[in-house]
Amino acid sequence: MVLDNKKVLVTGADGFIGSHLVERLLEEGCKVKCFVCYNSFNSWGWLDTLPKEKLAMLEVVAGDVRDPNGVRRSMEGVSVVFHLAALIAIPFSYHSPDSYIDTNVKGTLNIVQSARDLGIERVLITSTSEVYGTAQYVPIDEIHPRQPQSPYSASKIGADCIAESFYRSFNLPLTIVRPFNTFGPRQSARAVIPTIITQLLNGQTSIKLGDLTPTRDLVYVLDTVEGFVEIAKSDTLVGQGCNIATQKEISVGDLAQSLINLINPKAKILMDDIRIRPQASEVFRLLGSNKKLLENTSWKQRFDLEQGLKETISWFAEPGNISRYKVEMYNL
């Protein structure tokens, strides 16, 4: 599929990955419609930080992905849908699992139902590496068993299954995009890299973290959104799932030490029990295979881990950016 001049909808456009994807789609020549979460502050999330000339190129609609009416109306007249809207914080899913089912499962059902009715040309459903759970083998490919180790991952497995059923039942032209651990500017402080960086930049010398042993496959956000674009262009990935991964891993402890070395070598790591997942819920190893992505698209990793971390630190170091974060709080 050629994306140039296509009208596309991005749900979750106000979020971390979504806002970066919006910018990349503008570069691709798309006419971009942004679905953002309705709120009484009239906030468009991270889209509010984009330059005025970019904002002028966007059509922004506010709604709730749980509302089939609003979802359907937002999808009218578009050719491609990038569905990123979701609840994603794992600790909060322990607290409020119902909201994850409503948003992630029912929200995805609303997307695919409307896509079917409206004859949308292509739908990309955003999944997560968390659906795989702790690796049974590595690198984790797309046929790895799915293991619901948290209410969040269970809700995303449910969303994946709804999407798969619409491809098999109605031949809906969709692909399930499965990014591994994306990081970079604008990421929520509930994620480990912003947690470490914001504490260090705030002058703290005891960095509070949970379990240091899990490993993660970290993908810089600009590489992630490039993956979305390349997957959308690929006709061979219709009806399939596809990882976006670097096929490299690092432990949380080694990652934390790398950031400490880059920002304040005098800082130490302090274990904080409140940040530790229940033992059977922790995903101890994530190392993704990117073989399918490389074989079916022109995607290449442009940012290695060190480059990505330096770019991320630089962004957070800007006073106007770090001031948006409540560094002193543990963010669920």
* Residue pLDDT, tens place only, 107-156: 999 999 999 999 999 999 999 999 999 999 999 999 999 999 999 999 99
Question: Which residue, 275, 274, 280, is CA-closest to 252?
Answer: 275
Does the domain at residues 7-182+220-244 carry the CATH identifier 3.40.50.2000? no
Asked if pLDDT for residue 105 goes beyond 80, the answer is yes
Please report which confidence band the pLDDT of residue 274 belongs to, taking 50, 70 and 90 as the band edges.
Answer: confident
Q: Report which of residues 88 and 272 the model is more confident about.
A: 88
Q: State pTM to two decimals.
A: 0.97
Q: What is the pLDDT of residues 21-60, one digit of tens each?
A: 999 999 999 999 999 999 999 999 999 999 999 999 999 9
Residue 188 has what pLDDT?
93
Q: What is the pLDDT of residues 219-264, one digit of tens each?
A: 999 999 999 999 999 999 999 999 999 999 999 999 999 999 999 9
Asked whether the beta carbons of 177 and 245 are under 8 A apart, the reply is no
Give me the DSSP letters along 27-57.
Answer: HTT-EEEEEEE--TT---GGGGGS-HHHHTT
Asked if pLDDT for residue 332 goes beyond 80, the answer is no
- Mean pLDDT of the region 86-113: 97
Q: Which sequence spans correspond to the domains of the chain?
A: 7-182+220-244
Tell me which DSSP letter residue 200 carries.
Answer: H
- Percent of the chain having pLDDT more than 90? 93
Asked whether the beta carbons of 43 and 18 are under 8 A apart, the reply is no
The Cα–Cα gap between 139 and 101 comes to: 29
Instruction: State the chain's mean pLDDT as an integer.
Output: 96
